[in-house]
Amino acid sequence: MSTIVIGAGPAGLAAARTLGREGEDVVVLEAQPHVGGRTRSVRDRLRHGQPADLGASFIDIGQDKLLQYCAALGVDLTPQVALFPTDPDGRLTAASPLRVTLVVDGKRLDDAERDWLADEVRSALEATPPERTEPIPAWAARAGLSPRTRRMFCWQTGYNPVHEASQVPMAMLEPPHVGRVCWMMADGTDALARAMAAGVDVRLEQPVRAVRRRRGHLVVETDTDRFTADDVVVATPVTPSLAIGFDPVLPAWKVDALLATPMTQGGKVIGQYADGAALVERLGLSTMSDGPISLAWARPVGPEDTVVVLGLLADRGDGVLRDEARCLRALDELLGAATGLPVQRLAGLVQDWTREPYAGGVVSTLMGDFPRLPSLLAQGVGPIHFAGEHTAEMWQTSMDGALRSGERAAAEVLHRRHLRRPIATLTS
Ligand SMILES: Cc1cc2nc3c(=O)[nH]c(=O)nc-3n(C[C@H](O)[C@H](O)[C@H](O)COP(=O)(O)OP(=O)(O)OC[C@H]3O[C@@H](n4cnc5c(N)ncnc54)[C@H](O)[C@@H]3O)c2cc1C
């Protein structure tokens, strides 16, 4: 029996590997000339072959599926890092991210001012507990945060990166589940996708345009070819999934669930700098700002004392993300303000996920119907199954959720065939 998987990101590759191990004939159709999707890294833009992670960077503690895959496939991790410190009582709250180096109006806040701001948020969280679905600025206003604190609190969503704080509920920030203890992939994030793709039949530059259900089988059409299969796993992000023509049309509940799941918009700016050790020491865990770059952090210091610094930009519709020179200048200025040191950039690049047609943005955002949406997004339609970070019941939006969703979709395919024996996962 055969399955076609659409999309060679972590979700599609996890589905293909799981099915392949069960003896299924699997072909993965990938639109781009490379695997990895939003976990892509490039290695030809920075000096010394240093990887530039264009999408995902961090594995957070608790992302056990992702950690298992890395261990099983020999993907090395960096030493443990933290993006945010905890509050003074050791708890991680929505106030904690504001305890990093803060650059406001181009100037670094002194530690006392920063702590005052974070403490105000922490007190407000206790006095006025947020509702999960309450939009972020709505809570900040209801809780009575002072104007400066409110501005910084709402602006921090840029690190997700979210272009408009009112588009996201407080559940995104409180309780925070990322940033306290994490790792990066030592050789760049796409090391995992490349390892997962080994031995899988992945056809690159095959953008799927239509999936047609015909008597007893499915026909999948790309720009140049047609493939037939018994089952299809759609492992594409929300927005590109909406551009695939399904014949017959997907049921209204499925289309409604996809339409009710917008994607955040933004990109990443990556610079490589001289005097890495000194910059990293002064930068601390990370820096957050009210400028175009919401959050910046450094990878471990590399060859010849160089360091790669990465920044997230929400696409606020002001054209900054489209202007590479301006983004890189903003990164230089942020780094200079945060560290108080002169900075010398050696190389740099910008990745605009808003303009990436096969991504459609950064990650999915759940709006409103929390209990129901993930299960509708994950629900199959006969021989058509759905995977991807947006369909994950756990660790939605992340690489971990994507891997879990791929394994789940593969299990559904096998279940349809009444292959009820235990399913081997990972590298077994
Ligand atoms: C800037 C940024 C920062 C992030 N940071 C983190 C982080 O620190 N930690 C974390 O865990 N996650 C992070 N993520 C999220 C993480 O990258 C995603 O959760 C993960 O890549 C989702 O995997 P996926 O397989 O669902 O989708 P993708 O990785 O997007 O893969 C989908 C694949 O489908 C392909 N495709 C799309 N349409 C078609 C079509 N019509 N035909 C054929 N192929 C198609 C795409 O080209 C792509 O290869 C970040 C993402 C971004 C963009």
363 C-alpha to center of ligand 1: Å?
A: 8
Q: Is 63 a domain residue?
A: no
Do 334 and 363 sit in the same domain of this protein? Answer: no
Whole-number Å distance between alpha carbons of 147 and 150: 5
Q: Are 26 and 253 in contact (CB under 8 A)?
A: no
Last residue of one domain, picked from the residues 118, 139, 172: 172
Do 256 and 318 sit in the same domain of this protein? Answer: no
Do 381 and 333 sit in the same domain of this protein? Answer: no
Q: State residue 402's pLDDT score.
A: 98
Whole-number Å distance between alpha carbons of 356 and 362: 9
Q: Is 300 a domain residue?
A: yes
Q: Is 404 a domain residue?
A: yes
Residues near ligand 1 (Cβ within 6 A): 6-12, 29-32, 37-39, 55-58, 207-208, 235-237, 240, 244, 268, 353, 358-359, 362-363, 388-389, 397-400, 402
Q: Are 316 and 163 in contact (CB under 8 A)?
A: yes
Do 198 and 132 sit in the same domain of this protein? Answer: no
Q: Are 229 and 212 in contact (CB under 8 A)?
A: no
pLDDT of the chain along its 428 residues, tens only?
Answer: 899 999 999 999 999 999 999 999 999 999 999 999 999 999 999 999 999 999 999 999 999 999 999 999 999 999 998 888 899 999 999 999 999 999 999 999 999 999 999 999 999 999 999 998 899 999 999 999 999 999 989 988 777 777 778 888 898 888 887 777 899 999 999 999 999 999 999 999 999 999 999 998 999 999 999 999 999 999 999 999 999 999 999 999 999 999 989 899 999 999 999 999 999 999 988 999 999 999 999 999 999 999 999 999 999 889 999 999 999 999 999 999 999 999 999 999 999 999 999 999 999 987 666 667 889 999 999 999 999 999 998 898 999 999 999 999 999 999 998 654 555 655 54
* H or E segment to which residue 11 belongs: helix 10-21
| C-beta neighbour count of 253 within 10 angstroms | 11
Q: Are 295 and 287 in contact (CB under 8 A)?
A: yes
- The single-letter code of the amino acid at 105 is D
Q: Is 125 a domain residue?
A: yes
Do 273 and 325 sit in the same domain of this protein? Answer: yes
389 C-alpha to center of ligand 1: Å?
A: 8
Q: State residue 179's pLDDT score.
A: 76
Residue with tokens 């239509």: 210
Q: How far is CA 380 from the centre of its chain?
A: 23
Last residue of one domain, picked from the residues 172, 201, 216: 172
Whole-number Å distance between alpha carbons of 355 and 322: 9
Q: Is 178 a domain residue?
A: no
Q: Is 408 a domain residue?
A: yes
Residue with tokens 């059409």: 221
- For residue 161, say if its preceding peptide bond is cis, omega within 30 degrees of 0: yes
Domain count for the chain: 3
Do 258 and 276 sit in the same domain of this protein? Answer: no
Q: Any idea what the Cα angle at residue 53 is, between residues 78 and 177, rounded to 5°?
A: 65
**Number of C-alpha atoms within 13 angstroms, CB side, residue 211?**
27
Backbone φ, ψ for residue 47 (5° rounding): -70, 160
Do 283 and 257 sit in the same domain of this protein? Answer: no
CATH number where 379 lies: 3.50.50.60
Do 243 and 309 sit in the same domain of this protein? Answer: no
What residues does 4 pair with on adjacent strands? Answer: 27, 232
121 C-alpha to center of ligand 1: Å?
A: 32
Query: What's the whole-model pTM score?
Result: 0.94
**Nearest Cα residue to atom 10 of ligand 1:** 398
Do 157 and 215 sit in the same domain of this protein? Answer: no
The phi-psi region of residue 163 (left if phi > 0; otherwise alpha if psi is between -120 and 50; otherwise beta) is alpha
- Ligand 1 atom having least distance to the Cα of 209: 41
Last residue of one domain, picked from the residues 128, 144, 172: 172
Buried b (16+ CB within 10 A) or exposed e, 139-176: bbeebebeeebbbbbbbbbbbbbbbbbebbbbebbbeb
Do 365 and 388 sit in the same domain of this protein? Answer: yes
Structure tokens given for 335: 């780094």
Do 164 and 110 sit in the same domain of this protein? Answer: yes
CATH number where 319 lies: 3.90.660.20
Whole-number Å distance between alpha carbons of 147 and 272: 35
Q: Are 292 and 91 in contact (CB under 8 A)?
A: no
Whole-number Å distance between alpha carbons of 410 and 99: 42
237 C-alpha to center of ligand 1: Å?
A: 7
Do 33 and 158 sit in the same domain of this protein? Answer: no
Query: CA gyration radius for the chain?
Result: 22
Q: State residue 420's pLDDT score.
A: 47
Whether the CA torsion 238, 242, 244, 249 is positive or negative: it is positive
Q: Is 78 a domain residue?
A: no
Q: Is 76 a domain residue?
A: no
The boundaries of the domain holding residue 203 are 2-38+190-262+359-416
| C-beta neighbour count of 248 within 10 angstroms | 9
| C-beta neighbour count of 229 within 10 angstroms | 22
Q: State residue 206's pLDDT score.
A: 98
Q: State residue 423's pLDDT score.
A: 57
- Ligand 1 atom having least distance to the Cα of 207: 42
